[in-house]
Amino acid sequence: MTSRRDAGLADRIRRIWLDAARSGAAFPGEPALARELQASRPAVREALVRLEAEGLINKRQGAETAVNRAAVEIAARLDQQVDNEEIIEAMGRKASMDILEADVIALNEDDAIALDLTKGSKALRVAKRWRADGVPVLVAINLIPLLHGDKPADADVGQSLFRLVQRLGHQKVEWELAWPSATNLEPPVSDWLEQPPGRAALTLEMVGVSRAGHRAYLATEFHVPTAFRYGLIRSVR
């Protein structure tokens, strides 16, 4: 498991990569990074392995580290879990979020199967909307199973999905399975996005999974197709 300190180091190295990608400067070598960031060589090496796995750099023995400068063109990556506000701000727009609904429901058969539960199990259903410069661009409907049958009175539905999941007693989510698709919008989602019914939209259905295989949430996102340009980075072997 990655420690908070290691995650912070990776973020700092990612910022150095971003500066190099934007400016065209050379990416520092491992010894220089260790000195600059006052970190151990093994920790820096591990962070660089993660950056290479993300398709941001390419390291070869005896050669300068290559920087994938084109990667800055992809603000929203399907292969990574990124906060929606970060995606909007990465596009140079101001992000805001509001809660549309928050109710306790009984799961239907399809949602229960996705969460590996029985039909009728109780779940907290939270609908959120994100705006970019005041314009609705994304709606997310999150279903979080209630392990003890009731929602704690002090559970803040406005906090991040991952914090809310842990507040409701679920194990920490380590993986997110995601299925992209498309749909024709229907009320109330079309109303929330201020789009006419029948308008096409990108959808992402996601399931959060813990280390033990426990399913902590089912999230469905509806994206205005002109607002986001999702992409992938694949290494060519």
DSSP three-state, residue 27: coil
DSSP three-state, residue 167: helix
Q: What's the chain's average pLDDT? A: 91
pLDDT at 226: 84
Q: What is the pLDDT of residues 89-128, one digit of tens each?
A: 878 899 999 999 999 999 999 999 999 999 999 999 999 9
How many angstroms separate the Cα of 122 from the Cα of each of 51, 100, 112, 148, 149? 40, 20, 10, 9, 6
Q: Give the pTM.
A: 0.81
- Ordered domains of the chain (ranges, CATH): 4-73 (1.10.10.10), 76-231 (3.40.1410.10)
Q: Nearest to residue 16, comparing CAs of 33, 4, 3?
A: 33
pLDDT block averages, 10 residues each, the chain of length 237? 61 92 93 94 93 90 88 81 84 93 96 97 97 96 91 86 93 93 97 97 95 96 87 83
Q: Between 41-53 and 30-37, two packed helices, what is the crossing angle to 10 degrees?
A: 120
Residue 77 token pair: 């990556």
pLDDT at 216: 97
